[in-house]
Amino acid sequence: MSRTRLAGRTVVVTGAAQGQGAAEVAAAAREGATVIATDVLDEAGEKLAAALRTDGLEVSYRRLDVSSPDDWAALADRLDVVHGLVNNAGIPVRARLGEVELADWERAFAVNTTGAMLGIQALAPLMPAGSSIVNVGSVAALTAHHAVAYTASKWALRGLSKVAALELAPRGIRTNLVHPGYIETPLMATANPVFVAAHLAMTPQGRAGSVEEVAPLVVYLLSDEASYVNGAEITVDGGYAAHGGVKAITNALDAPVADR
């Protein structure tokens, strides 16, 4: 049976053509929202929207480079009201501190941080009281992490989210942050297998997460069920961030004596 927690609402999702963004689009639409799926992957985005419309859902696709103020302004000009914004777009920049190029550093911030800021600036004026912004961070934003540009850009997104939670709350607009751990998405398809194995070894639940385990949380934060949740940071990571590195100790203690 269909549910309608987001009935009558318009929701914009960035980075929506595939992976986690696509799951968020589908989940919001199935809760009754009219969803504008945005991305720079036009073929995949159009295909997603068409497939969901075939299921009777209200989904359209629009090309949007989140780092472009002009693209955000053009999107805002086409909309009368927005009730939800999911800043999901993000890119991996995996170079280490001594190797990262300035252009890659700046691109990471342009998409992962500035894109969310531009989206808030463009769409918040269209948001009535009761609206919600969900920014998608990462467990890399909670500790030191090997991918320095990605890590720093996601830490900066935390600061942006806190400021938005403070400044927009008097208008009845909530801003919250979701921190996924290792989630099976196309973004992770190019990850170093050594990194994947190490990350999963440090995840107490011992497995990767799925996009279907993230999307329901995003829907909850968009809905009135989260009407007093503002400025929160919620992990979806199988316990990865909970142990602060202690998992390596428990792994060692649990190993057979002969292996120590």
Structure confidence by residue, pLDDT tens digits, 139-179: 999 998 889 999 999 999 999 999 999 999 999 999 999 99
pLDDT computed for residue 234 by the predictor = 98
Task: Measure CA 255 to chain center.
Answer: 36
User: Given a cut of 50, is residue 76 above it in pLDDT?
Assistant: yes
pLDDT at residue 252 is higher than 90 = no
Taking only the tens place, the pLDDT of each residue in 79-90 is: 999 999 999 999
In a domain, 1, yes or no: no
Residue 260 in any domain: the answer is no
Has residue 4 been placed in a domain?
A: no
pLDDT in tens, 144-154: 888 999 999 99
How far apart, in whole angstroms, are the C-alpha atoms of residue 57 and residue 60?
9
pTM for the predicted model, two decimal places: 0.94
How many Å apart are CA 14 and CA 116, to the nearest integer?
9
Provide the pLDDT for residue 99: 96
Rounded Cα distance between 232 and 169, Å, is 13
For residues 9 and 83, the answer to whether their CB atoms sit within 8 Å is: yes
Residue 259: predicted pLDDT:
58
- 150 is a domain residue: yes
pLDDT tier, 187 (very low <50, low <70, confident <90, very high otherwise): confident
Mean pLDDT computed over 127-148? 95
**pLDDT score of 257:** 61
Instruction: List the beta bridge partners of residue 178.
Output: 136, 234
36 closest CA partner among 47, 19, 27, 49: 49
| Average confidence (pLDDT) over 211-225 | 98
Q: Which ranges in the chain belong to alpha helices (H)?
A: 19-30, 42-54, 69-77, 102-109, 115-123, 148-168, 193-201, 215-222, 247-254
- Residue 45: pLDDT band with limits 50, 70, 90: very high
Active site residues: 150
Within a domain: 128: yes
Alpha-carbon gap, residue 161 to 171, rounded angstroms: 15
Dist CA 158 CA 179 (whole Å)? 10
Nearest-angstrom CA–CA distance, 85 and 220: 13
Q: Which amino acid is at 76?
A: A
Q: What is the mean pLDDT of residues 224-230?
A: 98
Residue 232's domain spans which residues?
10-250
Total domain count, the chain: 1
**Mean pLDDT value of segment 68-81:** 98
Residue 72 has what pLDDT?
98
pLDDT of residue 173: 98
Q: Stretch 26-31: mean pLDDT, rounded?
A: 98
**Max alpha carbon distance in the chain (Å)?**
67
In terms of pLDDT, which residue wins out, 154 or 249? 154
pLDDT > 70: what percent of the chain?
97
d(CA 109, CA 242): 26
Indicate whether 60 belongs to any domain: yes
1: confidence class by pLDDT, cuts 50, 70, 90: very low
Residue 257 covered by a domain: no
Report d(CA 101, CA 105) in Å as an integer. Answer: 6
Asked if residues 23 and 50 have their Cβ atoms less than 8 Å apart, the reply is no
C-alpha atoms less than 13 angstroms from C-alpha of 28 in its C-beta half-sphere: 34
Which of 2-6, 64-68, 77-81, 255-259 bottoms out in mean pLDDT, i.e. has the lowest? 255-259
Asked whether residue 52 is assigned to any structural domain, the reply reads yes
Going by C-alpha positions, the residue among 134, 34, 129 that lies closest to residue 79 is: 34
